[in-house]
Each structure stands twice: as C-alpha cells, then as structure tokens.
C-alpha cells in the first residue's frame, strides 16, 4: 500500500515537472501515456482501474496545491532568473535596455548616414547624383519610390513569417520562406511594372526610355530590400551596412575614374550590394546545412497568406503614405513646361529630406521601446499575480507614456540639430554652396511635425504587432493615406504646391490618434491579448 502511495506521489511530481499546471484532465492523461504507463499496469502500480481514473486523482491533487509551486522544469529555470531581478532593479534594467537598443537602432542607419556623407563630399551616392537634370532626377527618384512600395509588403511578411519559424527552431521552413518570398517579391515587382508599362503604352504618359530606366532602379532597389530583410531576423544587420558601404564605394570609384554613365555606376553598385547580401545568406545556410536538412516540411502557401495578408498591406501602405505628398506636389507642375503627370521638385524634396532626419533619429526609440515592452511583458507576467491583472495592465500604460516622453525628448534634440543645419554657415550652405530656399524651410517644418506623429503612430502599431493585433493599425493607415491624398491635393491646388505636406501632417495625426485610442484599449486588456496570442 505504501509503495502504491509512493508511486502516485512520484508520478504526480513528474507530471508537474513536465507540464506544470495542467489546463485539463486530458492533458494529464496524455502526459501519463507519454511516460509509458499502460492501462493493464495501472491497478498493480497505482491501485486505479484505468489511466483516466489515475489522471482524475492526480489532476484533483495538483489543483489543490499552491499555484506558485506548479512550475515545470523550464518555468523553474526562467523563474530562477527572474528572481535575480527585484522590483527595485527595474529602473536599472530599463537603463541597460536603453543603452543597448537605442544606439543599436541608430547604428542600423549607418548605410543612410554614409549615403548622406557621400552626397555632401562628392555630390553622389548609391542612387542619387546632384548633377542630374529634372527628367533624370524624376526617373531615379520615381524608381526608388516604386521599389520601396512594391517590395514593402513582401519585406513585412518576410520579417514576420521568417521570424516565427526562426524563433520556433523550424529552420527548414525558415529557409524555404526566405527563398520563396524573395522570389515572389521579385516576380511581384516585374508584374507590377508590366501593368504600369501597359497603362503607359495606352495613355502615352512617358517615353519608353523613361519607363525602362525607372523599372531597372525599382527592380534593383526592391531586390536589395528583399535580400537584406532576413538579416534583421538573424540578428546580423551589420551585413546590410557592410554591403551598402562596399557597394557605394565601388559605385563612387566607377563614377570618379571611369566614363560609365551615372545610371550604370548606380546599377553596378546596387547589384554588388545584392550579390554581397545573397552570398552571405547562402554562406549562413550552408554553414547550418545539417540543421536545415533534418526536415523538409514546406509551409502551406494559403496558411502563410492568411496569417500575413494584413502585414503585407501595411508594409505597402506605409511607403505609399510616405510618398503621397511628394507625388501630389510634383504633379502640380509649377513652373515646368514638360507635359508629364509629375516631375521632381527640388526645393520640396530638399525640405522633406531634411525633415526626415527626425524620422531616422526616432528609430532608436522604436528599437528600445519594443525591446523594453517584450522584456517586461515576459518578466511581469511571472511576477504579478493573476488576481492583480489591473496592476499588470496599468504598469504597461505607465511604461508606454514613458516611451512617448522619450520620443518627445529625442524630437527636441533632433529639431535643435536641424535648426543649426538650416541657420548656421557651416550647415547646409557650406555643404551645398547655396542658401536653403524659404519654401524648403517651410516644407521642412511642417514635414518634421508630420514625421513625429507618423513615428508615434508606428510606435503604437509595433505594440499591436507584438501580440498579433494588426487589423486596426491597417485601417488607421488606410484612412491616413486617404486624408493625406485628399487634403494634400486640396491645399496644394488652393494655396500653393508645397502645402501638399499639410495633407501628410494631418494624415499622420489621424494615424497616431486612432492607433493611440486602440493602444489604450489594448493595454487595459493586455493580460487577455498576451495569453490569447500564445
């Protein structure tokens, strides 16, 4: 009899070690069967007629214990780590996360910083050149914009789905998804341009050479974004910086020391960046070849589409939003005698290019905010009792407003730098040999506010994405695009073309307000969304 009692205690302990707090009797039954316990042995070893009877007894016994003791082996290991983090140490943890992730977010802007330095020193970068005329500038910038828009959705899905497989250790699926989405993205860009070329053919909007050069730039830029996207998941984002910097150096050498047309130097440079990125990705796959060949279960295409279609549209629309105001301003055709739908407007573009510094500098805040949110979400769900869910939720509302305050502080610092660039002799004037036009300053100020509210809205969206809640964010972004287009068009035609940026500002505010409202609802029920997402 004592032996039977000892067997039951031992098995109960083993069940808790394996599954922790069981959600139902059937989970206990499955666990007992996984131990190799058979119905015919249950009576002899445990004194029960069936496994079901034994499972019922163990389940009732477990449910009568203190919930804090019902941790499986993995949970105990995590709990032991969490005990090293007292409540009084949260502030220090936040400081460490800020020191780690804020510079990391800025570091990944190194390729863009290098492009700016190259333009200032040489008037040339991997996809720009100050010597272009208005038609050439339109071709190149239009190609870059289309490349970003057409690849944006694929990049967003690649990031979501590849990250899912990577973090769950499903490496064969990770490789398949990466390869398939890169190819799908490239095919998608080609299909979109065939459609645009057909429209251009019927309406005779631009010469064929214009369309062809635009397509090449769009295809190469889009492909570059696709092949570099996996490095975010792999935590190897330095490869992106390395590829862009080497490619820019190569293109610059070709520009300075050969007679190649600027277009060709750009294309060769971008192809080099694509080749370097792909080469490293193949090296990574080959290095882990044994892992990837363990299993070759292909992800179901319909499943991937169903899980990620909202993220696809979000990735596309975010770039559409960023460039609507430019298209509206360029289509005003102010002072241009060319009979095209739109042409590059230098003073407007310069104003927006300076304003976007705010957007770039806030990247570090976004990186830190999501890292902090994810870290404390994991810690606090283990340290806050279930009966104190209001405390759990309110702590994250407080954290959220702290992150918004950090956004404001960063914006003030960046605004000060931009003011000095505009007003001081060593700033814009020294770099480009001309005083910044009043129109550009006006666009910069309004656009700067717009980028701040857009970044705030994107911060809200990242919180929603963390626990797989993209629906409202997508609707908010769609509404923001409509407002951006309609108000931008109205202001640019009624007042002056540069006021198309007002549409971008108001659209960004709407995006921020809608996502902020949803975030507050989200945080008040964060415990529900957290457990529902797993």
Tokens, residue 357? 């510094």
- The pLDDT of residue 375: 62
Three-state secondary-structure class, residue 129: strand
Tokens, residue 98? 């800020």
Tokens, residue 374? 């994810």
Q: What is the CA radius of gyration of the chain?
A: 28
C-alpha separations of 71 from 19, 234, 509 in Å: 8, 31, 46
The rounded distance, in Å, linking the Cα atoms of 515 and 475 is: 9
The rounded distance, in Å, linking the Cα atoms of 15 and 101 is: 40
The residue among 532, 366, 351 whose CA lies nearest residue 463 is: 366
Cβ-proximal residues to 403 (8 Å cutoff; 6+ apart), any chain: 365, 368, 369, 372, 373, 459
The rounded distance, in Å, linking the Cα atoms of 281 and 227 is: 8
Cβ-proximal residues to 15 (8 Å cutoff; 6+ apart), any chain: 22, 28, 31, 32, 58, 62
Residue 36 region by backbone torsions, left for phi larger than 0, else alpha for psi between -120 and 50, else beta = left
Query: Which position has the token pair 């214990």?
Result: 65
The rounded distance, in Å, linking the Cα atoms of 485 and 111 is: 30
Three-state secondary-structure class, residue 169: coil
Helix (H) or strand (E) holding 17: helix 2-19
- The pLDDT of residue 222: 95
Cβ-proximal residues to 34 (8 Å cutoff; 6+ apart), any chain: 18
The rounded distance, in Å, linking the Cα atoms of 488 and 322 is: 12
The rounded distance, in Å, linking the Cα atoms of 176 and 166 is: 11
Angle between helices 471-494 and 301-330 (to 10 degrees): 20
CA 454 from chain centre, in angstroms, equals 14
For the chain, give the number of residues: 534
How many CB atoms are closer than 10 A to CB 302? Answer: 8
The rounded distance, in Å, linking the Cα atoms of 303 and 27 is: 27
Per-residue pLDDT of the chain (534 residues; tens, 9 = 90+): 567 777 787 787 777 777 666 766 777 777 777 777 877 777 777 878 788 888 888 878 777 665 555 555 554 554 444 444 444 444 444 555 555 555 555 556 677 778 878 887 888 999 889 889 888 999 999 999 999 999 999 999 988 888 877 777 777 788 888 889 999 999 999 999 999 999 988 888 888 899 999 999 999 999 999 999 998 888 888 898 899 999 999 999 999 999 999 999 999 999 999 999 999 998 888 776 555 455 555 666 666 777 788 999 999 999 999 999 999 999 886 555 566 788 888 889 999 988 888 888 887 777 767 666 666 555 555 444 444 556 667 777 888 888 888 889 888 988 998 888 888 888 787 777 788 889 999 999 999 999 999 999 998 998 888 767 788 899 999 999 999 999 999 999 999 999 999 999 999 999 999 999 988 887 776 655 554 444
Tokens, residue 51? 């496994």
Cβ-proximal residues to 319 (8 Å cutoff; 6+ apart), any chain: 145, 148, 149, 152
Tokens, residue 25? 């009797």
Tokens, residue 183? 């190819």
For 124, which DSSP code?
Answer: B
Is the Cβ–Cβ distance between 447 and 356 less than 8 Å? yes
Long-range (24+ apart) CB contacts under 8 A made by 52-56 are 52/25, 54/8, 54/11, 55/25, 55/26, 55/28, 55/29, 56/25
| pTM score, whole prediction | 0.76
DSSP assignment of 515-527 equals: HHHHHHHHHHTHH
- The pLDDT of residue 317: 95
Is the Cβ–Cβ distance between 15 and 28 less than 8 Å? yes
Q: Counting Cβ atoms within 10 Å, is residue 440 exposed (0-12), middle (13-18) or buried (19+)?
A: buried
Helices (H), 362-499: 363-383, 389-423, 428-432, 438-466, 471-494
The residue among 261, 190, 185 whose CA lies nearest residue 223 is: 185
The rounded distance, in Å, linking the Cα atoms of 335 and 329 is: 12
Tokens, residue 79? 């709990």
């Amino acid at each position: 009899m004592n032996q039977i009692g000892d067997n039951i205690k031992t098995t109960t302990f083993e069940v808790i070690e394996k599954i922790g707090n069981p959600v139902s009797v059937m989970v206990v039954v499955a666990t007992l069967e996984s131990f190799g316990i058979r119905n015919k042995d249950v009576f002899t070893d445990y004194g029960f007629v069936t496994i079901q009877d034994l499972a019922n007894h163990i389940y009732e016994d477990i449910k009568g214990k203190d919930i804090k003791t019902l941790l499986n082996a993995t949970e105990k290991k995590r709990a032991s780590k969490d005990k090293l983090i007292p409540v009084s140490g949260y502030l220090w943890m936040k400081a460490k996360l800020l020191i780690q992730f804020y510079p990391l977010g800025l570091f990944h802007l190194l390729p863009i910083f290098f492009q700016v330095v190259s333009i200032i020193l040489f008037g040339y970068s991997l996809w720009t050149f100050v010597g272009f005329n208005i038609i050439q500038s339109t071709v190149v910038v239009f190609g870059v914009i289309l490349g970003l828009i057409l690849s944006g959705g694929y990049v967003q899905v690649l990031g979501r789905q590849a990250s899912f497989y990577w973090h769950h250790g499903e490496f064969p699926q990770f490789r398949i998804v990466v390869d398939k989405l890169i190819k799908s993205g490239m095919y998608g860009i080609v299909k979109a341009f065939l459609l645009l070329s057909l429209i251009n053919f019927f309406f005779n909007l631009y010469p064929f050479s214009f369309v062809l050069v635009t397509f090449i730039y769009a295809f190469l830029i889009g492909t570059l974004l696709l092949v570099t996207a996996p490095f975010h998941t792999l935590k190897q984002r330095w490869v992106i910086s390395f590829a862009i910097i080497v490619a820019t150096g190569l293109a610059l050498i070709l520009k300075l020391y050969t007679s190649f047309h600027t277009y060709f130097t750009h294309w060769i440079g971008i192809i080099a960046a694509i080749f370097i990125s792909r080469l490293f990705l193949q090296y990574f796959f080959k290095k882990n070849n044994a892992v990837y060949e363990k299993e070759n279960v292909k992800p179901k295409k319909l499943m991937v589409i169903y899980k990620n279609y909202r993220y696809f549209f979000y990735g596309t629309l975010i770039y559409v939003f960023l460039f609507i105001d430019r298209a509206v301003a360029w289509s005003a055709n102010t002072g241009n005698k060319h009979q095209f739908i739109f042409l590059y407007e230098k003073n407007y573009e310069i104003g927006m290019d300076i304003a976007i510094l705010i957007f770039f500098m806030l990247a570090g805040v976004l990186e830190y905010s999501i890292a902090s949110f994810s870290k404390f979400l994991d810690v606090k769900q283990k340290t806050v009792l279930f009966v104190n869910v209001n405390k759990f939720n309110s702590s994250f509302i407080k954290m959220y407003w702290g992150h918004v305050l950090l956004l404001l502080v960063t914006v003030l610092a960046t605004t000060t730098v931009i003011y000095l660039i505009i007003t001081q002799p060593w700033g814009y004037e020294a770099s480009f040999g001309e005083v910044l036009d009043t129109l550009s300053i006006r666009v910069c100020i309004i656009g700067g506010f717009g980028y701040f509210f857009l970044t705030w809205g994107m911060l809200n969206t990242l919180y929603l994405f963390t626990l797989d809640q993209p629906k409202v964010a997508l609707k908010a972004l769609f509404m923001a695009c409509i407002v951006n287009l309609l108000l931008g068009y109205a202001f640019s035609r009624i007042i002056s073309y540069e006021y198309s940026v007002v549409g971008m500002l108001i659209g960004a505010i709407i995006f921020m307000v809608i996502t902020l409202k949803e975030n507050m609802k989200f945080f008040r029920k964060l415990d529900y969304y957290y457990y529902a997402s797993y």
